Structure 1
Amino acid sequence: MRADAVRNRELLLEVALDAFTHEKDVTLGAIAKKAGVGIGTLYRHFPTREALIEAVYRTELEKLCDAAPELLETLGPEAALREWMDRFIAYAATKRDLKEALQAVIALGINPFEQSRAKMTEAVSLLLKPLGATTDPMDLLALLVGVAQNGDQDQARRMLDLIMAGVLHGAARTAR
């Protein structure tokens, strides 16, 4: 894609994320207008409302999972895992806010979640490896889902601290 087309697509996804998480019946025309592009540009990138919703969800998933190697490189193993877990909680809140929009996609027989588990497991595995942690990535993800369902930000931070302590304790025991 040309640079302007990439920029327009990214802008549409950003505006759509905000719209679908904050407005109940937002129109595609309103999304295009807020993004500063014509409706034809929106339809060239996303031929249906459901395609746009699915792309918004998948983009958020990719941002989360693609952050793992970058976080490891810039923060180090412990801080990277903790930052990724914080981002997971934010991702889960966004997914919860997109629930109604995603249900419309699912009603058409499209499964926007089909790659989610594999991508997240890969990201968590990458983050756990340098710690020497033996924690099963799926177990960690299950814990994070539980924390994310809580909704209380202060309690979520405390629970993530407990999870980190458990992962690091397990890694230390393995290292002995």
Structure 2
Amino acid sequence: MSASAERGGTRRVDAQRNRERILQVARELVRGPGELKLNAVAKACGIGQGTLYRHFPTREDLLAEVYRREMDELVAAAPHLLATHGPLDALAAWFDRVAAYARVKRDVFAAVEAATWRDLAAHGLGPIGEAVELLLAAGRSAGDVRADAEARDVIVLIGWLSRLDDAELDARGPRLLSILIDGLRANRP
């Protein structure tokens, strides 16, 4: 298959499998100590560096895709959670996923250049805001979420998660997100 066909979205099965494995390993390694090294990703995947560079020419390209993938999964979870939970429970379950997303966001943003960071932040705000609004709107319709709750407010309040280290996020994150859910409730006791 030609390089142009691969870029066009019709990757060979083995190439797609390599790409998925690279992203999975990079997500795991970005959480580790020190700087993410591309040769460590290639070695952990059991592939050559040339294969890695065909998929991700730079470290920033790889990290940006790790972040985008994490954000896309977070956004896609909102409608699924609404289909399987009541609105307020869906929002609470989504917040659990936000905590994991915040860890990846923090680690990726710490590893990329400032210009890449600004591009990634701008990319995430729209889709995440839409997911939050979907969850809030369902809650408002059901009478579970207060009428004045806005997606931007929630984003500002959950933004602190990416600033916490893992120990603090583990210790305080669930309680703080529970407090946020309680603050979003309509007809609080």
Tell me the TM-score normalised to structure 2 length: 0.79
Letter in 2 for 1:10: E
1:160 aligns with 2:174: no
Find the partner of 1:14 among 9, 24, 41: 24
1:11 deviates by 0.9
Aligned length, in residue pairs: 169
- Matched-pair identity in %: 39
1:146 aligns with 2:154: no
Flag structure 2 segments of 5+ consecutive residues without an equivalent. Answer: 1-10
1:3 aligns with 2:13: yes
- 1:105-140, Cα deviation, whole Å (9 max, x unpaired): x35687222211111100001111111133100101
Tell me what 2:125 maps to. Answer: 117
Does the aligned pair in 1 maintain the 2:64–2:108 contact within 8 Å?
no
User: Structure 1: which 4+ aligned runs deviate by more than 6 Å?
Assistant: none
Tell me what 2:50 maps to. Answer: 40
Counterpart mapping for 1:46-65 below 5 A? 46-65=56-75
Q: Distance in 2 between matches of 1:33 and 1:108?
A: 25
Relative distance call for 1:8 and 1:121 in structure 2 (3 A) is: same
Aligned-residue CA RMSD (Å)? 2.2
Letter in 1 for 2:155: L
Does the aligned pair in 2 maintain the 1:148–1:156 contact within 8 Å?
no
Letter in 2 for 1:66: A
Relative distance call for 1:111 and 1:2 in structure 2 (3 A) is: same
Tell me the TM-score normalised to structure 1 length: 0.84
Flag structure 1 segments of 5+ consecutive residues without an equivalent. Answer: none
